[in-house]
Structure 1
Amino acid sequence: MSEHFNIKLPEGSIEKQTTTLNLGPTHPATHGVFQNILELDGERIIKSEATVGYIHRAFEKIAERRPLYQITTLTDRLNYCSSPINNMGWHLTCEKLLGVKTPKRVDYLRIIIMELARISDHLICNSIVGVDTGAFTGFLYVMQYRELIYEIYEEVCGSRLTTNMGRIGGFERNFSDTAFRKIEKFLAEYPGVQAEFEKMFNRNRIFYERTKNTGGISADRALNYGFTGPNLRAAGVDYDVRVHTPYSSYEDFDFKIPVGTSGDNYDRFMVRNGEIWESLSLIRQAYEKVQSFKGTEAEVFHADAPEYYLPPKTDVYTKMEALIWHFKIVMGETEIPVGEVYQAVEGGNGELGFYLISDGGRSPYRLHFRRPCFIYYQAYAEIVKGAMLSDAVVTMSSLNLIAGEMDA
């Protein structure tokens, strides 16, 4: 729907009309349930008002009534394009509060999964940017390999999109030989696919002209808004949580931080492509480290934390202590320490943080999720002001605004 508004101008001047257009909340171009009220002068945006709240699910309040391990499924519903990173970030937060130290092999397995999730997130974002500029082929091509990533998830945890992957202290089971074979297949095949994808877009004249010098934001404005992740790095700031505040043994790995200059749609696209190559390198390094473990070390997939990690079913059936721990964990009767922690991870979209306050009960006293997309969306009105209507959709896509992170 649209409305026409008459703007009063000085006497003797020609009356000027603007149009108010609802972009969303159910328009397919928005890729999510959120609304933009655009005021247009012809096809140029002169004002934008962003609204959220269409899928408010009160995750933070629900979490305050759940034991720690039952909150993992809530994190899946934030950025569902890279939900394993959300899961691992939550487990790291719990481990920080509980004082659980994970073995190196667990850290390396987590890095494999988190970097696969980052690739999945970036390839979805960049291929959708291609679709929104009129190129559908690249999307169809890379989706085959998102499917292979989902098959790896399925082999590791039995799920695909909302994975509920891992546990406090590690994983629920060791990686199977099939999972490792699928990882090997991905590492062998995807680099060639990514190279073909980039050839299709990087110097394509139509794509370049649709993305270059559109949707830009300066480094200062990005920092003022609280940007992180690829959208901040595209503006020229080399902040990456994995480097500046390492977790899960990221300090053991060599990788670069791709950085742009102008912070426009094209730079965001290029930075995400660069990060895909770095993620492939990280997965390869982590895979080699995992394969270097021999004997009993090669069977380690969780920390020694019986108070918070479910014991094997065979032990539950045969050992009283394991049965007791199983009962206490499942029934949510394990007390957690008093404390206040903040743990951040480099999510697919930027710094995903969990701020947890515990008063010593069986669930968090307060919990806040720092969702990067919620922050980006605050800047959307400023970014698209003065742009063309066609640029508004491309900008939304290149910021990678995920509706699940808008409301928590």
Structure 2
Amino acid sequence: MKRPIEYQYQDSHFSASEPNKIDESRLHTEEMLLNIGPQHPSTHGVLRLEVLTDGEVVKEVVPHIGYLHRCFEKHAESLPYNQIIPFVDRMDYVASMNSEHAFVMGVERMLGIHEQIPKRVEYIRVLVAELNRLASHFIAIGTYGLDIGAFTPFLWLMRDREHILRLLEWVSGARMLYNYLWIGGLFYDLPPGFESQCRELTRYLKPKLDEVKQLLIENKIFIERTANVGILPLPVAINYGVSGPMLRASGLAYDLRRVEGYSVYPELEFDIPIGQGLAGRVGDCWDRTWVRLMECYESVKIIEQCIEKLEKEYKRSPDFDPQALVPKKIRPKAMDFYVRAENPKGELGFFFRSDGRSDIPFRCKARSACFVNLSVLPELCRGVMLADLMAIVGSLDLVMGEVDR
């Protein structure tokens, strides 16, 4: 993402009279170049950080990507629109439903059928997307606690995430990569009893979220480890194009579910948590974790409202066909089109260029929230202690499948 650090090895710390003896009095003035990752567990995947340190102080960080070779965009330019969805799943593979939602919504708008999508389909889409948002945030909070030494919250959140994954597997047939949201509809309607199981899940999760808040977020050691660390000022976040919980943690209530008002989100009641500096300064690592946890409470509220709508206003019926509007041939008019949606990590956007003659996009470009959020890492890490570097990296909530796409 940046040029490699130009670093020349200096051997001035060796004594001239005794070449094999190190002059320890000069060690504190020497810079050292470290490679952290791509095998480091706290880099959350194949991310390599080239770190220039002066003792334990980080002087510069350069993120290096390109170890995963996902190649999503080139795959997408050789497949029909409907066959791209399984590849969309594999970018942010812990939030596949949310990525599918953005993609199918964009193609439907290109085709001009987005206003014809049945309300039941739209509420099911939002329901499964918010379930997946919960699962993604559980990964983010749990692994972040693990990064800085808290093991129990990780086990608790993985246990609770398993209940969500079972529901998503029940509705789609797949555990992580779903291919459930189709252009024009859904792969299948909700199975009988799904709504009641979701309602039971929300009742189960509310006290569990309170436990995580008490055990981790309000923990004195966690606060000391994350408060006033990795502070991201709002102007810097805006200038770098940061989005999602990272941007909201810096104090801006900007959520595309409200700003764009896509799908049925305008019909739902939910709040937009922002960083308030309750434990340190606004925009620090603690605020970013706190915002993600507060968003879990809001997702539970959204799920409950979707269940209410699906059970009372948009009930299942024997003649309902979730694939009724799925087009047999997807051939948009010649145009350039961009669509964006609020993923758990931030703004996920898709740019399409259609030539009007083919059902294969001439150009498909994914705007990855993880890629953009990673670009601000050098600003956050300049001048911090080396021990705080991994605390900052973990607070970004990166998935490298979406970065190296």
Aligned equivalent of 1:348: 344
Residue 374, structure 1, aligned to residue 365, structure 2: no
Residue 364, structure 1, aligned to residue 361, structure 2: yes
Aligned equivalent of 2:189: 174
Aligned equivalent of 1:393: 390
Contact residue 174 and residue 299 of structure 1 kept, 8 A: no
Return the match for 2:216 from 187, 201, 204: 201
What does residue range 9-408 of structure 1 map to in structure 2 within 5 Å?
A: 16-100=29-113, 101-261=116-276, 262-293=282-313, 300=320, 302=322, 304-305=324-325, 307-308=327-328, 334-360=330-356, 361-408=358-405
- Deviation of the 1:36 alpha carbon: 0.4
CA distance in 2, matches of 1:185, 1:306: 32
Matched pairs, number: 379
Secondary structure at the counterpart of residue 162 of structure 2: helix
- Deviation of the 1:4 alpha carbon: 9.3
- Deviation of the 1:136 alpha carbon: 0.5
Query: How has the CA–CA distance of structure 1 residues 298 and 271 changed in structure 2, closer, same or farther, with 3 Å as cutoff?
Result: farther
Structure 1: runs of 5 or more not aligned: 309-328
Query: How has the CA–CA distance of structure 1 residues 102 and 55 changed in structure 2, closer, same or farther, with 3 Å as cutoff?
Result: same
Identity of aligned residues (%): 35
Contact residue 188 and residue 323 of structure 2 kept, 8 A: no
Contact residue 243 and residue 250 of structure 1 kept, 8 A: yes
Of 51-60 and 296-305, the range deviating more from structure 2: 296-305
Query: How has the CA–CA distance of structure 1 residues 299 and 222 changed in structure 2, closer, same or farther, with 3 Å as cutoff?
Result: farther
- Deviation of the 1:293 alpha carbon: 3.2
Secondary structure at the counterpart of residue 10 of structure 2: strand
Secondary structure at the counterpart of residue 181 of structure 2: coil
CA distance in 2, matches of 1:377, 1:202: 23
Aligned equivalent of 2:4: none
- Deviation of the 1:20 alpha carbon: 1.2
Secondary structure at the counterpart of residue 81 of structure 1: coil
CA RMSD of aligned residues (A): 2.0
Contact residue 368 and residue 402 of structure 2 kept, 8 A: yes
CA distance in 2, matches of 1:195, 1:304: 42
CA distance in 1, matches of 2:316, 2:307: 17
Query: How far does the alpha carbon of each residue in 1:308-364 deviate from its partner, in whole angstroms, 9 at most, with x for none?
Result: 4xxxxxxxxxxxxxxxxxxxx5xxxx5333222211110010010111111111210
Aligned equivalent of 1:324: none
Amino acid at match of 2:107: C
Secondary structure at the counterpart of residue 217 of structure 1: coil
Amino acid at match of 1:45: V
CA distance in 2, matches of 1:306, 1:230: 33
Amino acid at match of 1:37: E
Amino acid at match of 1:175: L
Runs of 4+, deviation exceeding 6 Å = none
- Deviation of the 1:296 alpha carbon: 6.5
CA distance in 1, matches of 2:101, 2:316: 24
Amino acid at match of 1:307: P
Contact residue 120 and residue 314 of structure 2 kept, 8 A: no
Aligned equivalent of 1:326: none
CA distance in 2, matches of 1:241, 1:7: 53
- Deviation of the 1:99 alpha carbon: 1.2
Contact residue 97 and residue 129 of structure 2 kept, 8 A: yes
Contact residue 184 and residue 327 of structure 2 kept, 8 A: no
Return the match for 2:10 from 6, 13, 20: 6
Aligned equivalent of 1:313: none
Contact residue 234 and residue 267 of structure 1 kept, 8 A: yes
Secondary structure at the counterpart of residue 32 of structure 2: strand
